[in-house]
Amino acid sequence: MATFMDVHHGMNGITQDQLAQAHQADLAIEKDEHVHFMQAWADPESGTVYCLSEAPDAEAVQRVHERAGHRADEIHAVPFKV
Amino acid sequence: MATFMDVHHGMNGITQDQLAQAHQADLAIEKDEHVHFMQAWADPESGTVYCLSEAPDAEAVQRVHERAGHRADEIHAVPFKV
């Protein structure tokens, strides 16, 4: 398992409820791909959402996000953290 | 206080030690600006570093990063989180 930060652009105006619903949609199916979405943060002004996950690989992260209806624009493995 | 995600580009090849040292440099002076850097993640391959902080405003985040020698390329307020 590795840690990933993925980024969604164009989410301008996203609300706390929409962020929570999108996160719930990921959580509902993540086990199929052995992914766990841990945290997410949204900036409604620039339309940016960051998701932190543990997953076997970036493709598994994307498969969950795609099935949940919100494809990520970038997915970065983040092997280092403090 | 608000939550911010800032992003540094061009950090290709960054190591765990360098990430830890950069984070320590922030922690050493953050109180001057009433900022707290909570977590950071690095992708050495794309050269991207993400820092999560609590701060009075984005300018305070940037002042700490600048004094520590690593200006952020983007700073996003992230009022929503899950």
Segment B19-38 shows an average pLDDT of 98
Counting one residue from A and one from B, how many pairs have CB atoms under 8 Å apart? 75
CB-CB neighbors (< 8 A) of A39 in chain B: 81-82
Q: Determine the pLDDT at residue A24.
A: 98
Euclidean distance between CA atoms B41 and B29, whole angstroms: 20
The mean pLDDT value for B37-48 works out to 98
Q: Does B13 touch chain A (CB under 8 A)?
A: no
ipTM value: 0.93
Residue-level pLDDT at B3? 98
Q: Give the pLDDT confidence score for residue A30 in this predicted structure.
A: 98
Whole-angstrom Cα distance, residue A53 to residue A29?
Answer: 14
Cβ–Cβ of B81/A44 closer than 8 Å?
A: no
Domains of chain A: 2-77 (3.30.70.3090)
Per-residue exposure over B46-74, b if at least 16 CB sit within 10 Å of its own CB, e if not? bebbbbbbebebbebbbbbbebbeeebee
> What distance in Å separates residue B55's CA from the closest CA in chain A?
15
3-state secondary structure B5-69: EEEECCCCCCCHHHHHHHHHHHHHHHHHHCCEEEEEEEECCCCEEEEEEEECCHHHHHHHHHHCC
Sheet holding A36-43, edge to edge: A74-77, A2-8, A48-55, A36-43, B80-81
Strand partners, A74: A7
* CB proximity B14 to A under 8 Å: yes
Is B45 an interface residue toward A (CB < 8 Å)?
A: yes
Tens digit of pLDDT at every position of chain A (82 positions): 999 999 999 999 999 999 999 999 999 999 999 999 999 999 999 999 999 999 999 999 999 999 999 999 999 999 999 9
